[in-house]
Amino acid sequence: MKHVKRIIPLAISCLLLAACQATPEADAVTQKNGGPIALTLTVTDTSEQGTASSLRDTLEIPEQISEEFTDGASHLTITVDASVECPDGTMVPVATVKRDVFHADDAENFYKTLFAGSVPIGKGAFCPKWYYESMLDSLLAMRESGQLDKYDSMEELDAEIEALVRQTAEAPEQAERVEPDFSADAMLYQVVACDETAKTVSTMIIFEDQMEYYRDVNTVSLFSRQTAQSYQNTDGYPSHQDCVENGRSVALPAISAGAARAQAEGLLEELGYEDFAFAGYRTALLEQNTDGSYQGVHEILFTRVVDGVQVTFTDHGSSNDPAVTDDTMAASWPYERIRIYVDDDGIYAMLFNGPCGGISVTAEGNSLLPFAQVMEIFKKQVAYQLGDYEQGGERRITITDIRLGLARVATPGATDAGTLVPAWDFFGTYADGYGKVYGYDGYLSLLTVNAMDGSVISRIQGY
């Protein structure tokens, strides 16, 4: 199975690989190289606050914060012009979680909801004749226009046309219904189904802890390739914001973002995922049109809510992702999140990664650092984590959003257990000094600080 991953460019990934630093008993936060950062920590006990005082009042959290500072040694300029978000309640829980996989009942639930009205077909079976006729029409139009698209020569295109002609001749007029088997748990589930009304062939692939659904099987490779890299300004896959800033047009669906969100939330309700809530929105770019513009779809983001506090969504798709870390001894563990894509025809795709189970709240209330001290930790750590002490390139960080939520950290010595802890994430953009800017999509967390002890959490390493 071709997994859809968030790929953070190697340059910034290396910078973000700093491990979680435990706060010592002494009155100092320590850098990862052992050098002390002079900062005395005092915590505020939120467990006894009751309902009279909000987190914002207790921790003295402002609605907005603006300031700028420079660290000459690391060639880094940091601009903070950010809204500051925190849960509405009085406490943030701590909870243990277990790594889980999708089971047969999960797969059946997805199938019944996503493929309602479609005809499932057997593995390796022919699709209906209309499916191949549509593909054949597209190739014939391509040949007539002289555009080769992905083909290297006209001969290669002609060979593909000839193969499609044979498939069309052999295909049945209508799909033969073959129900998928969900009688027992399996490592892999795969469903292909035909919608005779919409004239589309849909597919769903579930492999252990990753689920992918696509309304149109012909878009799988396109979607996987481009959406995996479209959120950063890298190698020809610009973000929606970058397209706007540099004059590249984006063809958005006619449906509004609000209506798309309502459709996505309706799907989650049908699936019975009541513990997940809206975590954000962005535009996912798909194919580049012949006029240079990009086709976009609405991407609606969801994460789990525990005791009224939401897990924070970030661009980091997995801890110990082999694509961005050399730690081959540690198991990769996708962060739990649901992404639903919507266009004018409805649900375009759905991705669900890293399902968690065994969630147990271990602390209803806890002691959290006042916001002013969190900001001091940020100022002292951000230069150390993201500055350039060797190459001398001028770098700039712009923080646009600061958010208190839950972050998963790994349990020491375990590959399938972790803890959701209160944490502050600092979102924004990062200019590397070489003309590249990362984080345009708004979900790149440049620093994650444990809200209880002030330690820095590496979302790439997961601790």
The string of pLDDT tens digits covering residues 148-198 is 877 889 999 999 999 999 989 999 998 899 999 999 998 899 999 999 888
Is pLDDT at 304 greater than 70 in this prediction? yes
pLDDT at residue 384, as a whole number = 84
Give the model's pLDDT for residue 41: 58
Per-residue pLDDT, averaged over 319-339, amounts to 71
**Is the confidence at residue 48, as pLDDT, over 60?**
no
Mean pLDDT of 212-238: 61
Residues in the chain: 463
pTM assigned to the model: 0.84
Tell me the pLDDT band of 327, cut-offs 50, 70 and 90. Answer: low
Read off the amino acid at residue 180: P
Rounded to 5°, angle at Cα 109 from 107 and 110: 65
Structure tokens, 196? 């005779």
- pLDDT reading at 14 higher than 50: no
What phi, psi does 286 have (nearest 5°)? -110, -120
Inter-helix orientation angle 154-170/129-145, to 10°: 160
- State phi, psi for 324 to the nearest 5 degrees: -130, 5
The C-alpha torsion from 255 through 259 and 263 to 268, rounded to 10°, is: 140
Confidence of residue 414 (pLDDT cuts 50, 70, 90): confident
Whether 323 has a pLDDT exceeding 60, the answer reads no
pLDDT for the residue numbered 53: 80
Q: State which amino acid sits at residue 393.
A: G
Return the percentage of the chain with pLDDT > 70, whole number. 78
Average pLDDT over residues 269-287: 91
Instruction: Using the predicted structure, report yes or no on whether residue 231 has a pLDDT greater than 70.
Output: no
Residue 208 clears pLDDT 90, i.e. is over it: yes
Q: State the pLDDT confidence band at 246, using cuts at 50, 70 and 90.
A: low
Please compute the mean of the pLDDT values over residues 10-22 and round it to a whole number. 45
The yes-or-no verdict on residue 211 having pLDDT over 80 is yes
What pLDDT was estimated at residue 119?
A: 95
pLDDT in the model for residue 142:
87
Instruction: Grade residue 26 by pLDDT with cuts at 50, 70 and 90.
Output: very low
Higher local confidence (pLDDT), 46 or 376: 376
- Binned at pLDDT 50, 70 and 90, residue 365 comes out as low
Average pLDDT, the chain: 82
Is the CB of residue 46 less than 8 Å from the CB of residue 271?
no
What's the pLDDT at 268? 98
Residue 292: the pLDDT is 65
Residue type, 270: E
The 8 Å CB, 24+ separation contacts for 359-363 are 359/95, 359/96, 359/97, 359/98, 359/304, 359/306, 359/420, 360/95, 360/96, 361/93, 361/94, 361/95, 361/306, 361/307, 362/94, 362/95, 362/96, 362/419, 363/47, 363/93, 363/94
Cα Rg for the chain, rounded, in angstroms? 24
pLDDT (average), residues 263-272:
98
Residue 417: partners with Cβ closer than 8 Å, 6 or more residues away: 96, 97, 98, 99, 410, 411
Task: Give residue limits of the domains in the chain.
Answer: 10-98+360-450, 101-127+178-355, 129-171
> Could you tell me if 297 and 286 are in contact, meaning their C-beta atoms sit under 8 angstroms apart?
yes
pLDDT at 4: 33
Q: What is the pLDDT of residues 76-135, one digit of tens each?
A: 899 999 999 999 989 999 999 999 999 999 999 999 999 999 999 987 788 899 999 988
What is the SS3 assignment for the chain?
Answer: CCCCCCCCCHHHHHHCCCCCCCCCCCCCEECCCCCEECCCCCCEECCCCCCCCCHHHHCCCCCEEEEEEEEHHHCEEEEEEEEEECCCCCCCCEEEEEECCCCHHHHHHHHHHHCCCCEEECCCCCCCHHHHHHHHHHHHHHHHHCCCCCCCCHHHHHHHHHHHHHHHHHCCCCCCCCCCCCCCCCCEEEEEEEECCCCEEEEEEEECCEEEEECCHHHHHHHHHHHCCCCCCECCECCHHHHHHCCCCEECCCCCHHHHHHHHHHHHHHHCCCCEEEEEEEEEEEEECCCCCEEEEEEEEEEEEECCEEECCCCCCEECCCCCCCCCCCCCEECCEEEEEEECCEEEEEEEECCEEEEEEEECCCEECCHHHHHHHHHHHHHHHHCCCCCCCCEEEEEEEEEEEEEEEECCCCCCEEEEEEEEEEEEEEECCCCCEECCCCCCEEEEEECCCCCECCCCCCC
Residue 285: the pLDDT is: 79
**Over 70: is that where the pLDDT of 232 sits?**
no
**Per-residue confidence (pLDDT) for residue 389, from 0 to 100:** 60
**pLDDT computed for residue 124 by the predictor:** 77
pLDDT band at 463 (very low <50, low <70, confident <90, very high): confident
- Distance CA(360)–CA(96), nearest Å, equals 5
What pLDDT does residue 349 have? 94
- Do residues 157 and 146 make contact, with C-beta atoms less than 8 angstroms apart? no
